[in-house]
Structure 1
């Protein structure tokens, strides 16, 4: 090997040197060093890195060890390293060779590696140990990037700490501006809207802000802070600024038109609101149905009921599956009543009941039909509707109003005895105790509305003990559940929420289903969570709650190893155009992992490929690993190694997948007939990743297999 090396025949030198797979002496150290040199001369840096690593770990020849360590450190900086973080390697060299003539060069690489290696977690740790003034600019950048990394992974609390740390030593105006913006983003997520607004305003006033990627969305961020604080005039002004400034982000542009419309609507500026809603409708984007609904409602407030009726009818023709259809039908029917068009009102209420027989408006629609008949002096038809409300929706406010209005009809017609006979069949009407019922509930509700937690719990429990089927039992159960939940007494809240959802669908059903599922999910009680989530999925009026149900059903089925159902729900989540990338990543990873566990490799390949397009952080590392894994299975060893090198360079903070990637890399090299690289990498895995027993076991098994194969080959050559 050395003879070929001296003759500059590096390919043959490599073929000889890489046969030495178990050398532990000065000759082996020398051979590994020259193997590294040969690889460098033939532009094979990843292989050179492994060779120099092996030479640097032997101390037979100190000079060779130092030079190999230097080359190992510089190559690690250049192409990345899955065995150790690049900053660790560089700082380790400086510590071991403090008088090296290459000290200044390595120190420069160390500072640069803090950012280019993207191993911000370890870089931050090292920078916090070294408070040298010349490293403070690097600290500001690393703290910012680590904060952004944690933000991406959903650790907002720790990200907030790091953005503040980045701002404590403002050396670079651009990073100061960016950290200020992201600090505001997290304050917004934590509902600290005033603090978020302050940060966004500070960012807006910074000279460097205009040169940051965040600047194009600053008006949008400020607008939402005002919107959340119900300062709708200011919110509308900033949504308008966003619209004027940024036209190429259709998602935010569409949302800005919607929120501009809402801001003007809430402040009774209905014509400007309708103009904004029209722009959103014209974009044909997400929530175009909402914009159309709001526009129709607005016509009612400017005394244009003819246009309101026209727009609602157009809405019902255009949006066949909108979650606002029941609202539109109900509003349209009510408008017909206002305009004196009783027949059309009755037909529209019937259409609502046919399409949404168990919907939120069902009881109200039947009651309104009864009132239309009552006001039209059709007493028998009115009584039929009122009795239906009382029978089908007992205990609801609509049922109580139906009974009260029916009583007027019976009295007007001199049929008081008939009324008494009927009303005794209704177990939710306790006529003699009604005043006591009302007074007891009113007192309890007052404590709830004033946030007097202990008194509210005591009073609401007292009311329900006296009137378990009382007129206000529904509200009392819901308010009691909410109070328990807010006070951290989730277990006490569960039976109260269950009382609410056991009744016919009402205004509190959906919120109770959400809360119940959240309580069960926090305890990983999937058996109890699944039926609640399934009902929420089926009954939710708000799209975000349906999405919440589907996403958590996906996770619940996955955690209980029902992979087929997990994939069914993951597909639902992915099919929803409103699903954000974070939840889409979760869905793709569940599809992928379920496919792996179910040995459905074709589906796993597609899922991981899709995940790679949108994932960030650890999920991206996992997807990149599997891309390399599948390429290895296809015999594309060189391509597989390129993916693993990217994993090492850009995702070195995720060591588990880095370690698994190294095992695949070793298999690739063995497939490329490079025994040295394969064994050296596998030995490195067994020494450096002991915290991952499964990976070490796989590496050890593969190492034993390769050495056995090589022993056979060498024995054959000797003969």
Structure 2
């Protein structure tokens, strides 16, 4: 009857309806179990901070519980518990709020821990106190708000065994969270604290040892890494999972770096037996490493077997397997088979970093088969295709030598001249000068040789005068003894005395290294610049690494981009190519060159062995560039990939941006689903989670659900502690919602 009467009243005078009428109508709906109407009506009452609003929020929460909408119930109870108008209602609301947090596992900003702790502090004699205490232990075990939980536990004077087990787990989670953000020293701090607590949970302790091993490995502290991986293997109760397999894989690499090939082979083969096929890249890599181990002990047939297994897996590292198979054939003196494999390698993997060496090795095979004409053809092919590669320097010298051995002196002279002109300061250039001298002596053309020697770049001579040689050698010996300041003076003195001396490039290179040791960046730029005046010299690659790093750190970004691009062209191994690609990507992104950023990120993501940290960085930069280029679908694809792990900063922002893209496309239901999933998943990067609360309020406002929009904003206002622009966003939206009401 009350429902009918109040509705009749509201129909007559809706514009100036009394709050108490709405309140009593809402409670009447609640008493008659029409819970959806109760929540909707009571929501219209919550416009002022008073006892009426507090009780309305309590019954809204109770109504939502009956409707199984625990998220909405949680926020209603939260608002009722925030008011001191009626302490009995506050107590009941605070208890229900804590319970909802626990049952929904919701703790975006540490609420689950603080709500229970706050309840026990505010209502120590409550009939709910005992239940809340027992729930608090469960919260510690299941929370994702690790910092809040750890602070809470540390306030307990005499923690129980259950709480210490929870602390062990929380420290472990903080450690893995730091690892995900590439903060390995911080990860070790938390993980070692977790281990030190004891063995309340054996598997948690074992897992902490594993991630300590991973952290030490990333920090290149191999002895500690091996110790902790072994501790994990001894302690774990789960020998059939991926982590157990990876511990063996990592121990294999540690032994491999120590050149203990027998031990390395043992661990890699164990990994192969344990791997269930989920990680084909690592599995192919393990096959390759076992092949390497057998190759080092000259067991060629076993090496070929494992390389073949790796290549058949069709992973990006297949080119390495092919190349090694070819080398093994050469070691077995099957030069024809080696050439066949090298040709297949270049055909199947044209962009492979091994393609350069493959052509060189093909030439060497022809030399060993006494087919000098084919060898020269191969070496010339290499020089034409990869003129910047240091391998071309060796090929050029080989061409001169082959002509010399054939007594084709004119061709040999031209070939050797090319070596000296293109690769000044190199050992090949010195050898070329020696052979040229012999040729001209044989031809009785000594004057011509003398004129040629003086005309070569940098006046490089075969016979450096004694003072030149002794002055440089003395400086080098001082450098080798670690007396850097004295060595710097000596190298500079050498360059002043012999500015175009036979060892001038060596001197500039050592001055680069001293500059690096002393953090003298101007010195690095000066001497690396001198080295790069002869871009094909043997020190160019090292000089570019030092030069690019200095330019990048000094914000000479355009110059750094040029240096990293040159380094990519010259890189002689996968690691240096990856270093160059990473530099190109970062420079392009800072220069806001979207097209260059997209190309650089795509190149980097194609690398066979890429750390998760670099992969995330490349995906993030590419997504940003795609967005600016209006390639929204491609951007969202990259963001969704990043959003799979919200523990790191890139993933945290990406998850928000995916939801923002859905909101912008007016796909409000999909945006709501994405944001609620984010809140359930959580992240240590609170700012992006707070932005997600704000965005969810925008979604609800767009859907006409103003009450829900306001509830999320109020909840955020009460729980978010950041000192940034979030507070302004909340205020502006709350004022708009008030105007609309």
Query: How high is the TM-score relative to the length of structure 1?
Result: 0.92
After TM superposition, give the deviation of residue 60 of structure 1 in Å: 1.4
Residue 7 (str. 1) matches residue 38 (str. 2): no
Write the distance in 2 (CA, Å) between the matches of 1:614 and 1:65.
38
Structure 2 counterpart of 1:716: none
Structure 1 gaps of 5+ residues are 711-719
After TM superposition, give the deviation of residue 579 of structure 1 in Å: 4.1
Out of 75, 80, 85, which is 2:100 matched to? 75
Structure 1 counterpart of 2:7: none
Out of 142, 164, 173, which is 1:136 matched to? 164
Structure 1 counterpart of 2:253: 224
Q: Which moved more, 1:58-67 or 1:666-675?
A: 666-675
Q: Which moved more, 1:655-664 or 1:480-489?
A: 480-489
Contact 2:701–2:709 (8 Å) recurs in 1: yes
**Residues 431 and 211 from structure 1, CA distance in 2 versus in 1: closer, same or farther, beyond 3 angstroms?**
closer
Structure 1 counterpart of 2:195: 167
After TM superposition, give the deviation of residue 83 of structure 1 in Å: 5.3
Structure 2 counterpart of 1:104: 130
After TM superposition, give the deviation of residue 140 of structure 1 in Å: 0.9
Structure 1 counterpart of 2:20: none
Write the distance in 1 (CA, Å) between the matches of 2:516 and 2:58.
66
For the residue of structure 2 that corresponds to 1:237, the secondary structure is helix
Deviations 1:619-671 (A, max 9, x none): 33323223333444455545433433332232253211221111122233334
Structure 2 counterpart of 1:315: 345
Structure 2 counterpart of 1:392: 422
After TM superposition, give the deviation of residue 115 of structure 1 in Å: 4.1
Structure 1 counterpart of 2:330: 300
Out of 546, 550, 556, which is 2:587 matched to? 556
Structure 1 counterpart of 2:386: 356
**Residues 164 and 557 from structure 1, CA distance in 2 versus in 1: closer, same or farther, beyond 3 angstroms?**
same
**Residues 197 and 606 from structure 1, CA distance in 2 versus in 1: closer, same or farther, beyond 3 angstroms?**
closer
Residue 264 (str. 1) matches residue 294 (str. 2): yes
Write the distance in 2 (CA, Å) between the matches of 1:412 and 1:195.
62
**Residues 482 and 199 from structure 1, CA distance in 2 versus in 1: closer, same or farther, beyond 3 angstroms?**
same
Deviations 1:180-209 (A, max 9, x none): 111111122222112211222222222525
After TM superposition, give the deviation of residue 318 of structure 1 in Å: 3.5
Contact 1:193–1:228 (8 Å) recurs in 2: no
After TM superposition, give the deviation of residue 376 of structure 1 in Å: 1.5
Residue 617 (str. 1) matches residue 645 (str. 2): no
RMSD in angstroms over aligned alpha carbons? 2.7
For the residue of structure 1 that corresponds to 2:444, the secondary structure is coil
Contact 1:397–1:471 (8 Å) recurs in 2: no
Structure 1 counterpart of 2:539: 508
**Residues 573 and 192 from structure 1, CA distance in 2 versus in 1: closer, same or farther, beyond 3 angstroms?**
closer
Out of 473, 478, 486, which is 2:504 matched to? 473
Structure 2 counterpart of 1:374: 404
After TM superposition, give the deviation of residue 52 of structure 1 in Å: 0.9
Structure 1 counterpart of 2:206: 177
Structure 1 counterpart of 2:57: 32
Contact 2:171–2:191 (8 Å) recurs in 1: yes
Write the distance in 2 (CA, Å) between the matches of 1:570 and 1:12.
53
**Residues 509 and 262 from structure 1, CA distance in 2 versus in 1: closer, same or farther, beyond 3 angstroms?**
farther
Contact 2:646–2:655 (8 Å) recurs in 1: no
Deviations 1:2-40 (A, max 9, x none): 111111111221221111242221111111111111111
**Residues 42 and 329 from structure 1, CA distance in 2 versus in 1: closer, same or farther, beyond 3 angstroms?**
same
Out of 149, 154, 158, which is 2:182 matched to? 154
Residue 204 (str. 1) matches residue 230 (str. 2): no
Deviations 1:576-632 (A, max 9, x none): 565444333223322333455677655544442343346643333323223333444
Write the distance in 1 (CA, Å) between the matches of 2:345 and 2:639.
40
**Residues 287 and 445 from structure 1, CA distance in 2 versus in 1: closer, same or farther, beyond 3 angstroms?**
farther
For the residue of structure 1 that corresponds to 2:312, the secondary structure is helix
After TM superposition, give the deviation of residue 524 of structure 1 in Å: 4.0
**Residues 404 and 600 from structure 1, CA distance in 2 versus in 1: closer, same or farther, beyond 3 angstroms?**
closer
Write the distance in 1 (CA, Å) between the matches of 2:699 and 2:627.
21
Contact 1:258–1:291 (8 Å) recurs in 2: yes
Q: Which moved more, 1:270-279 or 1:679-688?
A: 679-688
After TM superposition, give the deviation of residue 281 of structure 1 in Å: 2.0
**Residues 472 and 237 from structure 1, CA distance in 2 versus in 1: closer, same or farther, beyond 3 angstroms?**
farther
Deviations 1:663-682 (A, max 9, x none): 12223333454433322432
Structure 2 gaps of 5+ residues are 1-25
**Residues 474 and 114 from structure 1, CA distance in 2 versus in 1: closer, same or farther, beyond 3 angstroms?**
farther
After TM superposition, give the deviation of residue 703 of structure 1 in Å: 1.4
Write the distance in 2 (CA, Å) between the matches of 1:599 and 1:252.
36
Structure 1 counterpart of 2:280: 250
Contact 1:299–1:305 (8 Å) recurs in 2: yes
Deviations 1:145-191 (A, max 9, x none): 11011101111000011111111022211111111111111122222
Write the distance in 1 (CA, Å) between the matches of 2:403 and 2:538.
25
Structure 2 counterpart of 1:662: 693
Write the distance in 2 (CA, Å) between the matches of 1:636 and 1:316.
48
After TM superposition, give the deviation of residue 306 of structure 1 in Å: 4.1
After TM superposition, give the deviation of residue 563 of structure 1 in Å: 4.1
For the residue of structure 2 that corresponds to 1:528, the secondary structure is helix
Structure 1 counterpart of 2:173: 145
Contact 1:617–1:651 (8 Å) recurs in 2: no
Contact 1:390–1:399 (8 Å) recurs in 2: yes
Contact 2:509–2:531 (8 Å) recurs in 1: yes
Q: Which moved more, 1:98-107 or 1:537-546?
A: 537-546
Write the distance in 2 (CA, Å) between the matches of 1:586 and 1:146.
22
Out of 311, 314, 317, which is 1:284 matched to? 314
Contact 2:46–2:56 (8 Å) recurs in 1: no
After TM superposition, give the deviation of residue 430 of structure 1 in Å: 4.9
Q: Which moved more, 1:420-429 or 1:235-244?
A: 420-429
Structure 2 counterparts to residues 379-528 of structure 1, below 5 A: 379-426=409-456, 427-430=458-461, 433-528=464-559
After TM superposition, give the deviation of residue 416 of structure 1 in Å: 1.6
After TM superposition, give the deviation of residue 217 of structure 1 in Å: 1.8
Deviations 1:429-464 (A, max 9, x none): 357743333333333334444555445444433433
For the residue of structure 2 that corresponds to 1:361, the secondary structure is helix
Contact 2:50–2:85 (8 Å) recurs in 1: yes
Structure 2 counterpart of 1:629: 660
For the residue of structure 2 that corresponds to 1:658, the secondary structure is helix
